[in-house]
Chain A
Amino acid sequence: MSTPMVELRGVHKSFGALDVLRGVDLTVRPGEVTVLLGPSGSGKSTLLRAINHLEKVDKGFVLVDGELMGYRRSGTRLHELPERHVLRRRTHIGFVFQSFNLFGHLTVLENVVEAPVSAQRRDRAEATAHARELLDRVGLSDKADEYPRRLSGGQQQRVAIARALALRPKLVLFDEPTSALDPELVGEVLDVMRDLARTGTTMVVVTHEIGFAREAADTVVFLDAGRIVEQGPPAQVLDSPREERTRAFLGAVRH
């Protein structure tokens, strides 16, 4: 069996007195799309941020493609890695934010080219050509020289996805990518994500879009109060959930 793309074991995380994650085990296989569902405050965003070490976990560990995130193991000791090592590891992991976080003072093209050139030391001409290809893929090749503020929310999020893909990541993480969008703009972003899922990109997606989960996900994971309540194929978790809490959540989301 191949190495899991993501493996979380016994992950705990608290902010002060608040326990956000309380022992999470999760495995994501290469090429799979995993959707994290759960009520607000259930810890799904923190879980996602723990995967690329934007959030340091208090207990347990995170493996991405078989390598520890943020630490080096020798025997039974975990040595914290210096920031530059963590940054280098992150270039294999794309991250798409709820609020896009495009660099406002850079053009769309500069946004996409920045990390490949400065973090991966790729040739600027090659990175630019790749960036244009990606912008074309998300349907924004005509916006390359615009500044992000001149784009709609949906267009900005598509640029953010292109920016994440520019690193040729093994894994892309999406943190509620459509929650900040006007309803009529949600579709264009989900279309791009569906496309991505079809091409075999490993994705972990935090979202409230049940429709997207049903169509695109291989696994749906339901979280509540910092624990995984149940997980399985979408048909099982979404249509015949075993747990009462899952049923209650799905009922509330649908109505």
Chain B
Amino acid sequence: MTLSRDVAPAPVAADPGHGFTVVPARHPWRWVATAVVAVLVAMAINALVTNPAWDWPTVGQFLFAPSILRSVALTLQLTVLGIVVGFALGTVLAVMRMSANPLLRAVSWTYTWIFRSVPLILQLLFWYNLALLYRTIGFGIPFGPTFVEFGTMDLVSPVTAAVLGLALHQAAYAAEVVRAGFLAVDPGQLEAAAALGIPRLRQFLRIQLPQAMRTIVPTAGNELIGLVKGTSVVYIMALSELFYQVQVIYTRNGRVIPLLLVAAIWYLALTTVMSIAQFYVERHYARGTQRTLPPTPLQRLRAGLRRGAE
């Protein structure tokens, strides 16, 4: 792959005026390193393919099994709800943290402090057992009469509890990610918007947010990928997401390794899709920041083919 670039003959520049020929420098150690790494890669592939204990046929059998696909869907659902609710709440927390009102600042700080400090698994168990704390949940006037009341068990299903736990945990991190994004925007941008008399909400949506996104997206991508895997913690609530589901299957049929492999492959697939999406989102928000945008992999591939054809 990269090897071909190293051995391809570098263009030899000749200066007709002086008759000099430029001879490219040789890199013998690059050859040695290439050989060593190539052997190691071959060994790794060999170990994966030839050892029957990996049990690839079983992996193939379960990879697209309906129960696995359903669990992947639940994992995806938990991730999407967790990140959307998490970042929505996180943005509110970030705005509160940057507010001039000391109470709003203090509440936001305290929230982040608590939800970043308590392990996720512990928070999930709290939400799961919410009914032990509060038997009913009512809606009405604060400290006044209650209009409707629900049993906690009916209102907070295990899935709701899981989404709540993941989203509230995520919000604490998202708040800091969003705040960092806004701090990175040049204050001159807001000053110019204020001098032009642009309304406050429009300043936020049109001037601040798009520029903050440049800083927010890479870290948010990290958080999203973290959350895909973080959903596996939810197995303690006996929700049949991916990790719980493979455990259920391997305790029944005893094929531990291939089923763990099935889960690993699906997590890899999900994060790959998200990484690709992140690349294009980042590229979108890079408008105007560089003189030319970096090429997409597709453009790079086409350019490579064109060069190869010449």
- A residues with CB within 8 A of B: 52, 54, 83-84, 87-91, 93, 95, 97, 99, 101-107, 114-115, 118-120, 147-150, 163-164, 167
In the complex, the answer to whether A103 meets B192 with C-beta atoms within 8 Å is yes
Known contacts A105-B287, A118-B198, A148-B288; is A54 also within 8 Å of B211 by CB?
no
- Rounded to whole Å, the gap between the CB of A171 and the closest CB of chain B is 12
The answer for the CA separation of A231 and B231 in the assembled complex, in Å, is: 71
Which chain B residue has the least Cβ–Cβ distance from A120? B197
Query: Which of B191, B198, B206 has a CB less than 8 Å from the CB of A97?
Result: B191
Cross-interface CB contact of A87 among B192, B197, B288, cutoff 8 Å: B197
Question: Which residues of B approach A to under 8 Å, CB–CB?
Answer: 186, 188-189, 191-200, 202, 206-207, 210-211, 285, 287-291
Contacts of B288 in A (CB 8 A): 104-107, 147-149
Return the contact of B192 from the options A88, A101, A118 (Cβ within 8 A). Answer: A101
Partner of A150, one of B189, B202, B207, B291: B291
Q: Are B287 and A90 in contact (CB under 8 A)?
A: no
Residues from chain B with Cβ under 8 Å of A105 in the complex: 210-211, 285, 287-289
User: Judging by beta carbons under 8 Å apart, are B287 and A83 in contact?
Assistant: no
Question: In the complex, how many angstroms separate the beta carbon of B214 from the nearest chain A beta carbon?
Answer: 8
Q: Is the CB of A149 within 8 A of B291?
A: yes
A91-B197, A114-B196, A149-B291 known; A99+B188 contact, CB < 8 A? yes
Q: Is the CB of B289 within 8 A of A84?
A: no
Report A-chain residues with C-beta under 8 Å of the C-beta of B211: 104-105
State whether A118 touches B206 (Cβ < 8 A).
yes
Q: A95-B195, A115-B197, A115-B198 are known contacts; what are 19 more A-B pairs with Cβ within 8 Å?
A: A84-B200, A87-B194, A87-B198, A88-B197, A91-B197, A97-B188, A97-B191, A101-B186, A101-B192, A103-B192, A104-B289, A105-B211, A105-B289, A119-B196, A119-B197, A119-B202, A148-B288, A167-B196, A167-B197
Please, how many angstroms separate the alpha-carbon atoms of A1 and B198 in the complex?
33
Inter-chain contact total with CB atoms closer than 8 Å: 79
Cβ 8 A contact of B199, one of A52, A118, A167: A118
Q: In the complex, which residues of chain B have a beta carbon less than 8 angstroms from the beta carbon of A167?
A: 196-197
Is B202 a contact of A118 with CB atoms below 8 Å?
yes
In the complex, A210 Cα to B202 Cα: how many Å?
A: 39
Alpha-carbon separation in the docked complex, A95 to B192 (Å): 8
A54 proximity list for chain B (CB < 8 A): 191, 194-195
Residue of B nearest to A175 (CB): B195
Residues of A within 8 A of B210 (CB): 105
CB within 8 A of B197: which of A90, A104, A107? A90
- The answer to whether A83 touches B200 (Cβ under 8 A) is yes
- B291 near A163 with CB under 8 A, answer no
Contact A90 B289 (CB under 8 A): no
Counting from the closest, the 4 A-B pairs by CB-CB distance are: A147-B288, A101-B192, A91-B197, A115-B196
- Pick from B195, B211, B287, B288 the residue with the most CB of A within 10 Å: B195
A101 and B197 form a contact (CB under 8 A)? no
20 residue pairs from A and B, CB less than 8 Å apart:
A52-B195, A54-B194, A87-B197, A89-B197, A90-B196, A95-B192, A101-B189, A103-B192, A103-B193, A104-B288, A105-B210, A105-B211, A105-B285, A115-B198, A118-B199, A118-B202, A119-B198, A120-B197, A149-B289, A167-B196
Minimum distance in angstroms from B294 CB to a CB of chain A = 15
Contact across chains for B200 and A103 when beta carbons are under 8 A apart: no
Q: CB-CB < 8 A to A102: which residues of B?
A: 192
| A87 proximity list for chain B (CB < 8 A) | 194, 197-200
Residue of B196, B206, B290 touching A91 (CB-CB under 8 A): B196
| Smallest beta-carbon distance A85→chain B, Å | 10
Give Cα A116–Cα B206 distance, bound, in whole angstroms: 14
Expressed in whole angstroms, the Cα–Cα distance for A67 and B192 within the complex equals 22
Complex contact B198–A114 (CB within 8 A): yes
Partner of A103, one of B195, B197, B207, B285: B207
Across the interface, name the chain A residue whose C-beta is closest to B288. Answer: A147
Nearest A residue to B202 via CB reads A118
For B189, list chain A residues within 8 Å (CB).
101, 103-104
Q: How far is the CA of A220 from the CA of B206 in the complex (A)?
A: 38
Q: Complex formed: what's the CA distance from A199 to B125 in Å?
A: 73
